[in-house]
Amino acid sequence: MIRIAGLHKRYRGAPADGWVLRDVSLEIPASSRVALIGRNGAGKSTLLRLIGGTDTPNRGEVVRRCRVSWPLGLSGGFQGSLSGRQNAKFVCRIHGAQAALDDKLAFIQDFAELGAAFDAPVRTYSSGMRSRLAFALSIAFEFDMYLVDELTAVGDAAFNAKSRKAFQDLAGRSGLVMVSHSESTLRSFCESAVWLHEGQAHRFDSVDRAIEAYKKSMTR
């Protein structure tokens, strides 16, 4: 379970009343699949980062009583001077996969389909190659809750189909908190929703009801 209590977040340089999130309190069971819905700038990605621990709140707390992933496919944390293999080794070690290191690396190398580039510095990668490596790393570990910020196409059509199938398998056995601008994607993968509006979080048992509330707010 993830418990969010009294969460406040704003960024340096924002006006005094420029809170992205204000007094947000939620409980997200580890087995649930939750869509985050809201306009651009409503705080969806911010809340996802706070849940994942890659950002910190100004006030309040996030308590994680389950294993929570980093945002799926996140590629911004790679060390460019290290190879894909070396970056993968580092991630495996900090996640306690030392005993299964060879198996993890073999899976990541096979899934990412980088060939010899797996042993080249990541700074030489194209954006597509970095995305392949990031996606392969993301699904190489078992988490109770996966965080997804825009499930986008990764690579060519064949690789994209493989990635989507892998994500569907993952979603079938774990919880999700998902941000996406695609209503059909949210309906496919999520069972409930949180609508972020004017810094507040509103919980819905139905994705459709949350989308309806969001659309009504856009016409006012």
Instruction: Kindly report the CATH number assigned to the domain that includes residue 124.
Output: 3.40.50.300
For residue 109, give the nearest of 134, 136, 87 by alpha carbon.
Answer: 136
pLDDT along the chain (220 residues), means of 10: 95 78 94 94 92 92 91 74 95 83 94 95 91 88 87 69 84 89 90 95 96 88
pLDDT of residue 111: 93
Asked if 133 and 192 sit in the same domain, the reply is no
**143, two tokens:** 């988490």
Question: Considering the entire predicted model, what is its pTM?
Answer: 0.84
pLDDT of residue 70: 79
Please check whether residue 102 lies inside any domain of the structure: yes
Asked if 94 and 129 sit in the same domain, the reply is yes
Q: Are 194 and 27 in contact (CB under 8 A)?
A: no
pLDDT of residue 169: 86
- Partners of residue 179 on adjacent β-strands: 36, 149
Number of structural domains (the chain) is: 2
Please check whether residue 149 lies inside any domain of the structure: no
Asked if 92 and 165 sit in the same domain, the reply is yes
Asked if 113 and 186 sit in the same domain, the reply is no
**Beta carbons within 8 Å of 42's beta carbon, 6+ residues apart:** 196, 197
Where does residue 32 rank: exposed (0-12), middle (13-18), buried (19+ CB within 10 A)?
middle
pLDDT of residue 75: 61
Separation CA 185–CA 183 (nearest Å): 5
Asked if 204 and 162 sit in the same domain, the reply is no
> Domain range spanning residue 16?
2-67+178-218
Asked if 80 and 171 sit in the same domain, the reply is yes
